[in-house]
């Protein structure tokens, strides 16, 4: 049963219908093979871009859909319910566009944003380094000013779309002044010196490429710096608040997908002479799963409405990410349990959902870091 949604407008209802149609016709037929083979589905992003799904939260003047986060996140959830790698990709793409949109000059925005929002140019977001994941202020990659340009050196770890993207939003150090010594750069693919390691061999999310990006004397014009020198980390962290809501939505979607599979199976599978859903011990597992999915959705939507109203929402975004991803881990683990031995095989998608849920607790700030953010808000 698809999620029951209360949407604010008729166009958002039509948008969800369009997303479900694209998910059923363009994502569902591809997901199993691509996840097994580790194939990155670039063409799917082109399709989503052409349908306008990559530009939903941005204003119309840049070709965006001017949709509130409340709506955009539910679109993302529908995508995540069918293919988490693509949901994550859409979210990371939005994260990569955010610095330019929020901090770029008019000139930078009119030059780059339309191609990014139409999906012609796919983005990557380079914040983490091998030794600096939870603590990005410890980053070492450098950007040194040289006349009218900057020269970037270093290595950015864990880059989603590394090697596949058309542009890289890179955080690099422009001074040794700790968290205030970092700046943000727009680096187009194909810039000499931009190299990629072999992609990581991951536990899940195989359809999403994750690779270390090497910066070896990468020269970009000074006009490719986004925001002021030293503003980079605060730009990066501002983007993460919205990004965390994106991950919460994708996690809710994949939990919904696991729940739907489990319920369908539990109605058909019989044990001791009746459908397993008619055994209360199992039915209550399903009830808890449904409650976990709904509360995850309610939590991220509540944070989204604060954001849409222009209110601070950092604490609520962290709560949403924490709740939605922890719930997704539990729901997907239980879905494997509901399917019994079948759940442990690759003939059914629930083991994949379980592997996908795990990473949701790790990236865009581990769930320990979310607790850190939440508790710091409480201690203020």
Partner 1 sequence: MNIVVLVKQVPDTESPRKLKSDDSTLDRAAADGVINELDEYAIEEALKIKEAHGGEVTVLTMGPAKATDSIRKALAMGADKAVHLVDDGLAGSDALQTSYAIQQALGRTGFDIVILGSESTDARTGVLAAMLSERLGVPQITLANKVEIDGSAIKAQRVTDYGYDRVEATLPAVVSVVEKINEPRYPSFKGIMAAKKKPVETLGLGDAGIDAAQVGLANAATEVVDFADAPARAQGQIVTDEGDGGAKIAEFLASKKFV
The answer to whether residue 114 forms part of the interface with partner 1 (CB under 8 A) is no
Active site (annotated) includes residue 364: yes
Whole-number Å distance between alpha carbons of 155 and 131: 10
The answer to whether residue 51 forms part of the interface with partner 1 (CB under 8 A) is yes
**Cβ contact 79:19 at 8 Å:** yes
The answer to whether residue 10 forms part of the interface with partner 1 (CB under 8 A) is yes
Which C-beta is closer to ligand FAD: that of 22 or that of 213? 213
**Cβ contact 45:95 at 8 Å:** no
Which C-beta is closer to ligand FAD: that of 211 or that of 301? 211
Question: Residues in contact with partner 1, total (CB under 8 A)?
Answer: 16
Which C-beta is closer to ligand FAD: that of 62 or that of 168? 168
CA atoms within 13 A on the CB side of 83: 30
The answer to whether residue 257 forms part of the interface with partner 1 (CB under 8 A) is no
Shortest Cβ distance from residue 54 to partner 1 (Å)?
A: 10
The answer to whether residue 3 forms part of the interface with partner 1 (CB under 8 A) is no
Catalytic residue among 26, 35, 164, 364: 364
List of residues contacting ligand FAD (CB under 6 A): 92, 125-128, 133-134, 158-160, 202, 205, 210, 359, 362-366, 368-369, 372
Scanning 17-25, 172-180, 223-231, 270-278 for contacts with partner 1 by CB under 8 A, the matching segment is 17-25
Whole-number Å distance between alpha carbons of 115 and 111: 8
**Cβ contact 335:349 at 8 Å:** no
Return the residues of window 62-81 that contact partner 1 according to CB under 8 A: 65, 67
Element (H, E) at 146: strand 142-146
- For 14, other C-beta atoms within 10 Å of its C-beta total 11
**Cβ contact 213:200 at 8 Å:** no
Token couple for 244: 């965390």
Token couple for 119: 């999906």
Contact residue for partner 1 among 7, 30, 42, 52 (CB under 8 A): 52
Among ligand FAD, partner 1, none, residue 366 binds (CB under 5-8 Å by kind): ligand FAD
Mapping DSSP to helix (H, G, I), strand (E, B) and coil, where does residue 225 land? Answer: strand
Whole-number Å distance between alpha carbons of 80 and 289: 17
Q: Which residues are catalytic?
A: 364
Interface contacts to partner 1, rule CB under 8 A: 10-11, 14-15, 17-18, 21-22, 47, 50-53, 56, 65, 67
């Amino acid at each position: 049963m698809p999620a029951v949604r209360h949407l604010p407008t008729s166009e958002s209802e039509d948008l969800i219908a369009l997303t479900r149609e694209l998910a059923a016709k363009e994502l569902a037929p591809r997901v199993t093979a691509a996840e097994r083979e580790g194939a990155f589905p670039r063409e799917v992003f082109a399709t989503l871009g052409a349908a306008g799904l990559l530009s939903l939260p941005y204003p119309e003047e840049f070709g965006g859909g001017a949709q509130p986060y409340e709506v955009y996140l539910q679109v993302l959830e529908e995508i995540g319910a069918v293919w988490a790698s693509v949901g994550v990709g859409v979210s990371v793409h939005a994260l990569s566009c955010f610095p330019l949109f929020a901090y770029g000059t008019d000139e930078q925005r009119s030059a780059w944003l339309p191609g990014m929002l139409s999906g012609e140019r796919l983005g990557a977001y380079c914040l983490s380094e091998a030794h600096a994941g939870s603590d990005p202020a410890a980053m070492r990659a450098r950007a040194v000013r040289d006349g009218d340009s900057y020269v970037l050196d270093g290595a950015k770890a864990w880059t989603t779309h590394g090697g596949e993207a058309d542009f890289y939003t890179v955080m690099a150090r422009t001074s040794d002044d700790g968290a205030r010594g970092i700046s943000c750069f727009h680096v187009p693919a194909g810039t000499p010196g931009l190299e990629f390691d072999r992609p990581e061999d991951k536990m899940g999310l195989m359809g999403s490429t994750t690779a270390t990006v090497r910066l070896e004397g990468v020269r970009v014009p000074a006009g490719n710096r986004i925001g002021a020198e030293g503003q980079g980390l605060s730009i990066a962290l501002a983007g993460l608040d919205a990004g965390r809501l994106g991950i919460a939505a994708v996690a809710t979607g994949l939990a919904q997908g696991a729940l739907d599979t489990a319920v369908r199976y539990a109605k058909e599978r019989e044990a001791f002479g009746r459908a397993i859903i008619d055994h209360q011990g199992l039915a209550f597992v399903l009830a808890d799963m449904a409650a976990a999915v709904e509360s995850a959705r309610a939590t991220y939507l509540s944070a989204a409405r604060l954001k849409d109203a222009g209110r601070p929402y950092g604490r609520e975004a962290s709560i949403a990410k924490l709740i939605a991803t922890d719930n997704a881990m539990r729901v997907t683990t239980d879905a494997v349990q509901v399917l019994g031995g079948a759940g442990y095989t690759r003939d059914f998608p629930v083991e994949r959902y379980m592997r996908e849920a795990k990473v949701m607790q790790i990236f865009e700030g581990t769930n320990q870091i979310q607790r850190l953010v939440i508790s710091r808000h409480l201690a203020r």
